[in-house]
Amino acid sequence: MTNQIIQGILLGGYYALIACGLSFMFSVMRIINLAHGSLAVFAAYALWWLASRLHIPPFFGLLIVLPVMAVIGWALQRFLLERSARGGALLPILTTFGLAIVIDNMLFEQFGADTRSLAPFIGSLSYDSWEWPGGIYVGKLAVIMFATAVILLGGLQLFLTRTRLGRSIRATSEDPDTAGLVGVDARRANAIAAAIAMVTVGLAGAFLGMRATFDPYAGAPQLLFAFEAAVIGGAGSLWGTLIGGIVLALAQTLGAQVHPQGFLIGGHAMFLVVLFVRLSASGLGLRGLLRLPSRSGS
């Protein structure tokens, strides 16, 4: 059981990585980016292309892909999300949904339906492990992923609290109009936040490709995991995202112990329980959710 808990915690690092960008964009721009998973898969394909065609190992490929993802994030915010946000809260969600479909099909057209993986390009790292006391084996890649998640979340936390730009981003997320009145360029702050979110997406895509296989339509499940981890941890909270990722992974691990097909169900069940508790705490329980809107005039 100890082994399962440790594996679950380490897997939580990956979920925290994939949820980090989603949570960050939601907390700053109030946008739920449904293209989040597809963009992670896009980054994985970019690394795979660099590795297979140009023989650039994935860890070095990140030096190219992460800046590209930052530019994509900046451009997405400036030219797409910012404009769609003017049309209300629903329009950016529909826009990113459409963007996900475009990315998925573009990847399908370019790379076909074959599954790919970055594992062949990272040598033995994909299967090497350390033996811990008690006969517990932990994968080196899983440990690296978890450490990356902690460093990334800690770094983001420091950036947001200790730097002028970080404070500007937080102020913009709280009240963009007032942020402008104290000298913060809210458009710039949002674009930089989107660029940072896409860098985290790029990292998550890299680890997705290293730890598993991916195909052009692998984005949707990644989005689901990210969404569940973000909701469990409390959307907008960076350390909450890590806790959310760990709780989701532990629930999946526990589910797999109960039934061979219980891995995903365990995670979904935990997500629903946390969602219900959160809604109940905010005064909107299951009855509130199911309650039909009253007819006008009644």
* Residue closer to another protein, measured from CB, 82 or 104: 82
180 lies in the site for another protein, by CB under 8 A = yes
185 lies in the site for another protein, by CB under 8 A = yes
Least distance from C-beta 161 to another protein, angstroms? 8
Ordered DSSP codes for the chain: -HHHHHHHHHHHHHHHHHHHHHHHHHHHH----TTHHHHHHHHHHHHHHHHHHS---HHHHHHHHHHHHHHHHHHHIIIIIHHHHTT-SHHHHHHHHHHHHHHHHHHHHHH-S--B-SGGGSGGGGT-EEEETTTEEEEHHHHHHHHHHHHHHHHHHHHHHHSHHHHHHHHHHH-HHHHHHTT--HHHHHHHHHHHHHHHHHHHHHHHHHHS-B-TTTHHHHHHHHHHHHHHH-TT-HHHHHHHHHHHHHHHHHHHHH-TTHHHHHHHHHHHHHHHHHHHHTT--HHHHHPPPPPTT-
Q: Which of 1, 54, 90, 182 is close enough to bind another protein by CB under 8 A?
A: 182
User: What is the Cα–Cα distance from 15 to 189, expressed in whole angstroms?
Assistant: 26
Instruction: Single out the segment in contact with another protein by CB under 8 A; choices: 50-58, 102-110, 129-137, 180-188.
Output: 180-188
* Residue closer to another protein, measured from CB, 128 or 185: 185
Touching another protein, residues 149-178 (CB under 8 A): 161, 164, 167-168, 170-171, 174-175, 177-178
* Residue closer to another protein, measured from CB, 162 or 287: 162
* Residue closer to another protein, measured from CB, 209 or 240: 240
As given in the structure block, the two tokens for residue 32 are 């739920």
* Residue closer to another protein, measured from CB, 113 or 182: 182
* Residue closer to another protein, measured from CB, 166 or 255: 166
* Residue closer to another protein, measured from CB, 56 or 171: 171
Least distance from C-beta 77 to another protein, angstroms? 17
Least distance from C-beta 16 to another protein, angstroms? 22
Q: Which of 11, 119, 186, 193 is close enough to bind another protein by CB under 8 A?
A: 186
Which of 6, 37, 24 has its CA nearest to residue 224?
37
Q: Which of 184, 203, 226, 249 is close enough to bind another protein by CB under 8 A?
A: 184
193 lies in the site for another protein, by CB under 8 A = no
Given the rule CB under 8 A, which residues bind another protein? 161, 164, 167-168, 170-171, 174-175, 177-186
